[in-house]
Chains A and B, each alone.
Chain A
Amino acid sequence: MQLRRQTLILIAALCIALAATFFFGFRAGKTARHVHWKNEAIRGWMTVPFVAHTRHVHEEMLFRAIGVTPDRHDRRPLRDIARAEHKTTRQLIDQLEGAIAANENKAP
């Protein structure tokens, strides 16, 4: 009886392990399929030069769009810049997204 219970627990654990493997494998594959065309989302931890690098735009343009003096050594995360500029991080990210979109529309 005890043996049967242990076997059933092991079978259940095996099913969970296989389901987890399938889930993570599937999710990894799905992300890998979209990695080429999806733009990197802008997050509050990123610096302006980091955003410029991931979105392939000039950092001066981004600094100007958020009203900050361009400085390529400015390592402040967006959340800190937002606080200093009395804005929310979301507002700052929206400004950056807007500037990037405008730049893309301008490009031939």
Chain B
Amino acid sequence: MSEQILAALARWGEPALFIIAAVASVGIPLPVMLLLIIAGSLAAQGALNFWMAVFVAAAGSAAGDQIGYAIGRWGGRALNARLARLLGGAEKIERLDAQARRWGGAGVFFSRWLVTPLGPWVNLASGAAEYSWLRFTFWDTIGEGIFAGLYLGLGLAFSDRVQEIGSIFGDVTWGLLGILAAAVIGWKLLSGKPRAAETAAKPSAAQSV
């Protein structure tokens, strides 16, 4: 799969870059980071125009993100209603919606270029939470521009070491995701105890009344 995608990039250049970036942004697991680094290397060899490649990759990713957002916005509510029944009620979903509205901009921006595996999920969540489309598009475009510029730039700078650079940055991204997950779980562990004690105390207080 990965070989075919990279071969398509080597052969067709920008059109392949646009399509692959868009498909990956919808949530299909494709090696976009490696693809951008290789596109940077192709730019260093003169087979692609660097700035055109940055534009095409960012536009493709942003187009895919819009599809994800639309699915979340117009398909997500029905899905949410079903999930709400299964997973603890509408109150929980409302709380998630409120969090998405509060952290939406930062979540969209950082999931574009820093913790990229979260990107497709953030698109769906932003749409389902009815996060402002204008704000989503604003942070999305900036984030995707940074993502494309960063990895194409890496490919340009290390044009004869693309596979190793792709492997290093792929691992760094997953490592960052691990740190983020550890921080969230750690925070939940630390903040969960008092809340649990509070909820445990509530029934006994009600009983005493």
Contact = CB atoms under 8 A, between A and B. Distances in A.
A45 B179 CA distance: 33
B20 interface: no
Interface string B176-208: 011101100110110010001000100000000
Contacts of B13: 75
Interface string B146-171: 00000000000001111111011101
Given A24-B172, A24-B175, A14 B11 contact: no
Nearest to A76: B11
B189 A54 contact: no
Given A14-B185, A49-B47, A20 B164 contact: no
A54 B178 contact: no
A76 B8 CA distance: 9
Given A45-B3, A75-B10, A13 B185 contact: yes
B160 A14 contact: no
A102 interface: no
A10 B174 contact: no
Majority-rule SS of A interface residues? helix
A27 B41 contact: no
Contacts of A44: 3, 7
Contact of A20 (B5, B163, B178): B178
A40 B182 contact: no
Contacts of B161: 35, 40, 54
B175 A77 contact: no
Interface residues of A, number: 38
Nearest to B11: A75
Majority-rule SS of B interface residues? helix
A21 B171 contact: no
Nearest to B181: A17
Contacts of A10: 185, 188-189, 192
A14 B186 CA distance: 7
B88 to A, nearest CB: 13
A34 B42 CA distance: 23
17 contacts: A3-B196, A6-B192, A14-B182, A20-B178, A21-B179, A27-B171, A31-B164, A32-B168, A45-B6, A45-B7, A46-B10, A50-B47, A53-B159, A54-B162, A75-B11, A75-B13, A77-B10
Given A21-B178, A27-B167, A43-B163, 20 more contacts: A3-B200, A10-B192, A11-B189, A17-B182, A20-B181, A28-B168, A32-B164, A35-B164, A40-B162, A43-B6, A45-B9, A47-B47, A49-B45, A49-B47, A50-B41, A54-B162, A75-B11, A76-B11, A77-B7, A79-B7
Interface of B: 3-7, 9-11, 13, 41-42, 44-45, 47, 159-165, 167-169, 171-172, 174-175, 177-179, 181-182, 185-186, 188-189, 192, 196, 200
